[in-house]
Each structure stands twice: as structure tokens, then as C-alpha cells.
Structure 1
Amino acid sequence: MAKKTTGGIGIQKSSFDFLGALKKHNNREWFNEHKDDYLRELKQIEIFADALLEDLSAHDVIETASGKQSLFRIYRDTRFSADKTPYKTHWSGSFKRATSSRRGGYYFHIEQGNSFIGGGFWGPSADDLKKVRDDISFDPSPIKKIINSKLFKSTFGSLEGEQLKKIPRGYDAAHEAADLLRHKQYLLIRRFTDEEVLSPQFRKEAGKAFAAMRPFFDYMSEVLSSDANGL
């Protein structure tokens, strides 16, 4: 269960400033010299993540036990990357929806010039993709109703995520929802300016974005937890 937090919790300017300094000095020597600064700002992000978890728990069942557990490590895995800088220059975390019937997850990303609240299905399995595509192929009206709603468009604009160049084999290339059938990922993203992130209203706006994902999550959860006969 999320810890009780206060309503005014948000992203501190010092947490943003630390990311800017780290981007300029992305090396182990600088980081070690400023480890205390990092730990202090990390604690602030944990408090913010706890607040997001509290807000999420008001309308969904979340498996992630705490804000701290939601956070991704700042240390980069450089083994297979051409970029050998050792640290990420953003704060981020994710919250997993609880039980097998509640599919999908929530994500937050705080970075100078590139902050967003996200959710959806980043790497669905082949079986899950087939279930979703089969449902869309049979009747695209439920998902179209969601993504064409005023709330969805005003919050996210459109459904995002990597797509195939051509419609997958086994589906009608002239299908009315061919664009949805090409999706390999199903992502909902609400982007924020730096000014918006540092605003006292950011937590509220982030919570509203998470809540706006629920119709899409409910649709996907029903599709992915049902058999071919809809049972």
C-alpha cells in the first residue's frame, strides 16, 4: 500500500538541475564527487514516485509496492552500446498493474526537454499481439471509440508506438483499421515542457494523464485475458 503523502509534492528544481549538471559531466569521477547530491535528489524523486503511486492506487490496483521500488537505476548498461557514458540523464520509474487480468503498466520520465507520462504495452509477446490484432480485425469499433474520444485526443493526441511498414501476414491489407493492425507497441504518451514539470500542478496533471489511460487499459485487459471466443 502506498504511503500517505501530501497534495503539493512535485519535481524540485534542484532535481532538474542535477540532471543538467550530470549531462555536462557524465563521468564516474564527477558523479562520485557529487554522490551526496545525487542521493539527496534521488530521495526527492522517491517522494514524488510515492505520491504518484498514491494517486494511481485511488483508481487502479498496483502491484509495485512503493515509489522507491518503481524507480529505474541511474546507471547505464553500456556493454552493447556505442555510447559509453555511464549514467542516464533522466529520472524514471514504472508501476505494474496487479493481477493477470489487469494488463499494462504506467511510466514516468523526467528529463530536461524530454519529460513525459506514459503507459501501455512496450514489448507485447507474439501471442498478445495476435490477440489484439485478431480483436481489432474482427471489430475495430471498441478501440477506435477510445482513441477517438475527446479525452484521449486532448490528453495523448494519438496512439503511439513502433509499427510495421506493412500490415502483418494473415490480415486484410485493405482493412479499415490497417494502421492499428501494424502496431508492434501500443503506447500512450503525454509530454510536458520543463516549465510544466516544475509547476506545482505537475503531479495533478500527471495523475490526470494516468487516469485517462484507464479506458484503453480496460479494453486491452479484456482482450488479453479472454480466449478466442471472448470468454
Structure 2
Amino acid sequence: MFSNATALVRDHIAAHGAAWGDILTAQPFPVGGSALKNVPKGFDPAHPQAEYLKYKSWYIEDPVPDALLLEGDFVPYAVERFLAMKPLNDFLNEALRDFQMPTR
């Protein structure tokens, strides 16, 4: 939806590929997103993170088992999972630091 935001994230991944890889290795969640068939122009198809440079959006999800909600153990679980998600969120926020929402 915001091509300039997508470009900022791709540029950040390309420039900080090792950090991106470390985050993905350390977290228990797979990163998903809609992706192009090829690496966009201007990016090296041999880049170690080339698959993620194809993405147009990036997300992680963590399905919560119903039993966790019913047994009352959700809050400690959520805290643990949110803390595990934080490095990826921080990385994306850093990539989008200069992003400005379009005005109408």
C-alpha cells in the first residue's frame, strides 16, 4: 500500500542482512508476507536475504492455544511471546524511522 515504506524496509534488510538473519534465527516465529516472484530491481538476487527482499509486507503470527486462554496462563505466555517478537519489531521500526504517512 505504501511503496516508499516497503522500499525503506527492503533497503534496511539489504544493508543489515546479518542482523536480519540473526533476528530470524533467534525468534520462534516464521516471517510471512506477500511476495514478488523475483528480487526487485536494484537488489542483488544473490543477497543472503534475497527471499525477504521479495516481500511486499512482513508479519509474524503466533496462534494461541484455546487451553491457554481457558486455564488462565495467557498473560505470562503473552509477555514471553511479545518479548520474543520485540527484536523484529525494533528492526522494522528502525527501517521505518523516516517514513511519513501521506497526508490527504
TM-score of the superposed pair, with normalisation by structure 2: 0.80
Who wins on radius of gyration, i.e. which is larger?
Answer: 1
Residue 130 of structure 1 is aligned with which of 2, 7, 11? 7
Q: What is the root-mean-square deviation of aligned Cα atoms in Å?
A: 1.9
**Change beyond 3 A, Cα 1:198–1:221:** same
Does residue 1:197 correspond to 2:69, yes or no? yes
Paired position in structure 1 for 2:80:
208
Paired position in structure 2 for 1:146:
23
C-alpha distance in structure 1 between counterparts of 2:13 and 2:64, whole Å: 31
C-alpha distance in structure 1 between counterparts of 2:45 and 2:32, whole Å: 20
Q: Structure 1: any 5+ residue segments left out of the alignment?
A: 1-122
Corresponding residue SS for 2:59: strand
Deviations 1:92-145 (A, max 9, x none): xxxxxxxxxxxxxxxxxxxxxxxxxxxxxxx6x211111111122223011111
Corresponding residue SS for 2:45: coil
Deviations 1:169-218 (A, max 9, x none): 22122222111101111112111222233221012212322222221122
C-alpha distance in structure 2 between counterparts of 1:135 and 1:222, whole Å: 8
Percent sequence identity over aligned pairs? 28
**More displaced, 214-223 or 140-149?**
214-223
C-alpha distance in structure 1 between counterparts of 2:32 and 2:72, whole Å: 28
- By relative contact order (CA 8 Å, sep 6+), the higher-ranking structure is 2
Q: CA deviation at 1:226?
A: 4.5
Q: Structure 2: any 5+ residue segments left out of the alignment?
A: 100-104
C-alpha distance in structure 2 between counterparts of 1:138 and 1:219, whole Å: 12
- The letter of the residue matching 2:10 is R
Aligned residues: 99
Paired position in structure 2 for 1:188:
60
- The letter of the residue matching 1:134 is D
Instruction: Spell out the pairing of 1:1-231 with structure 2 (5 A cutoff).
Output: 125-149=2-26, 152-153=27-28, 156=29, 158-226=30-98
C-alpha distance in structure 2 between counterparts of 1:138 and 1:204, whole Å: 35
C-alpha distance in structure 1 between counterparts of 2:70 and 2:37, whole Å: 38
C-alpha distance in structure 2 between counterparts of 1:166 and 1:197, whole Å: 41
- The letter of the residue matching 1:190 is D
Larger % of helix: which?
A: 2
C-alpha distance in structure 2 between counterparts of 1:140 and 1:207, whole Å: 27
